[in-house]
Structure formats: structure tokens, C-alpha cells
Amino acid sequence: MNKPIIEFKNINFSYDQEDELILKNVCFSINEGQYVCLIGHNGSGKSTIAKLLCGLLNYQDGEILINGIKLNDENLEALRKDIGIVFQNPDNQFIGSTVEDDIAFGLENRCIEREKMISLVHDFSKRVGMENFLSKQPEELSGGQKQRVAIAGILALDLKIIIFDEATSMLDPQGVEEIRKLVFDMRKKDPKLTFISITHDMEEAYLADKVICLKDGEVFLNDTPENVFKHEEELKSIGLGLPFIVKIKNDLLKHGIKIDENIKNIEDLAGFLCK
């Protein structure tokens, strides 16, 4: 389980040779089955990392290893078949005209036979809870539903790595909660699935296995959420806050109340305090 699936080694990247570097000497590794959150201020290079991973951008300097294989032009086609991205805007990534068409789009591209495709579409629409909406058009769906369809379309491809590029930032709190639950189920069903979430949502980051914080294109912090959120001042300096629960814990600590490290959600905290 501890095999690194993604490794970034000294990546420098800029869109143009003369331009300022967007990524500066970025090094990190992500293990198979991990849930990693990439956080950072706007323009810190989070999305660039996602684009580099699936070959949308070419890196000039350094090495990206996926499953131990160096990503280059020759093997890009093969390697990017293991990576899927769910983007921010639910409307702009809805390709098919109906829910089922959209889930099937990626499968069509992989030349999967029709019978198998139909059963896959049904399975995965059920998994994201959209089985009753198969013939619906995107206008008839809410943002959260569209995003779930996008996730089903990615999941159906049987990928090893799934990246959420601010996938929940345009959703209402209910939509965010739905997607979070879905991710939880997804990882439970397939423990080998590596999940990278690019997010501004610190609450989500707190639930991750690992948090990588970027600052001006450099890896600033790369640790477990507990350790990352100990750097309150540094995070504040780049415009990031702390998750609610960490704030409460810190405040309680100031008043001399020590909270158990394992408590990760509000309910548990309330239970602990009532004891």
C-alpha cells in the first residue's frame, strides 16, 4: 500500500521561457490509496500540477513519475488512461446531451462494447445516486447532480488516480456534502484508489490523509493535516484559514482544555466535551 504512485521530482514549470516560474522546484510523492489535498492561494500552481499530471501541459525541467514510470511524450497516452479529473464548472464538463450519454462518453472513447457500456453506465449511475435521472438533460439537473454525473463518468473508466480540481467550489453546502459522502464511499469501495483534491475548503483538507500546501509555486508544507494546521501564522500569511474544528481545539487549549488528537468532527468533539 505504501508504494508511491505519483512522484514529482524537482519540477520547474513556466508557460513561457521568459515568464516567471509557476512551479519552482516542486517535490512531493503520493502513495497509492492516499487521499491528498492540495491547498494554496489563488495562482499558487495547484491546477498546474493537475494539468501536468494528465499531460495537458509539458514540463521542461524535472521528472514526474507515475507508478514508477517517467511521464514523457511516448507513454503519455498510456499513462493518462489511469488519471481522471473532475473540474470546477459542472456545466462546462457535461459533454453528453443526457446523463447516460455523458457517463458513456469516456467509455465510448475507450472502445468498450455496447453491452458492457450499458451495464457500466447503470452500475455507476447507481453508485452516485443518479440512476433515476439517466435520460435527463443537463438543464434539468442541479449543480451537485451534474457534478455527480461527472464523477460517475470518471469512475466508470476504472482509473487509479482521480483528481478533483476544485470540484465542489461552485456547489451549495448540500452539494458539497453529497460529493464528500460520495468520495468517502468511493474510497471505501476501492482502497487502492488514489484521490487528489485541489481545494480551498479547509474542512475537507482536515479529513485528508495528507495535505500539500503550495505558496507561490513552491511546496510550503507537506504533512498530515494535524501537523499542517499547527502552522497557523504561516497559513494566515498566504490567506488560508484553519478548519473550524482546529480553531475550536486551539481556543479550548488556551483555556486549558486538552482535546484528544483523534477527534476529527464536530459531533465527536461535542461528545467529548459533554463527558
The residues binding other proteins (CB under 8 A) are: 51, 54, 56, 80-81, 83-85, 87, 89, 91-98, 100-101, 104-114, 117-118, 121, 135, 137-139, 153-154, 157
Closest approach of other proteins to the CB of residue 117, in Å: 5
Compare residues 62 and 138 and give the one whose CB is closer to other proteins. Answer: 138
> Cα 51 to chain center, whole Å?
13
E-assigned strand segments in the chain = 4-13, 23-31, 35-40, 61-66, 69-70, 83-86, 161-165, 194-198, 210-215, 218-223
Compare residues 102 and 178 and give the one whose CB is closer to other proteins. Answer: 102
Compare residues 5 and 83 and give the one whose CB is closer to other proteins. Answer: 83
Closest approach of other proteins to the CB of residue 15, in Å: 14
Closest approach of other proteins to the CB of residue 47, in Å: 10
How far is Cα 150 from Cα 142, in angstroms, rounded to an integer?
Answer: 12
Could you tell me which of 178, 124, 179, 133 has the C-alpha nearest to residue 154? 124
How far is Cα 159 from Cα 231, in angstroms, rounded to an integer?
Answer: 34
Closest approach of other proteins to the CB of residue 98, in Å: 7
The residues, any chain, with a CB within 8 Å of residue 194's CB and separated by 6 or more, are 5, 6, 30, 31, 32, 33, 34, 36, 160, 161, 162
Compare residues 3 and 126 and give the one whose CB is closer to other proteins. Answer: 126
Compare residues 82 and 234 and give the one whose CB is closer to other proteins. Answer: 82
DSSP secondary-structure letter at 275?
A: -
Q: Taking the C-alpha atoms of 9, 1, 129 and 156 in order, what is their torsion angle to the nearest 10 degrees?
A: 60
Closest approach of other proteins to the CB of residue 176, in Å: 20
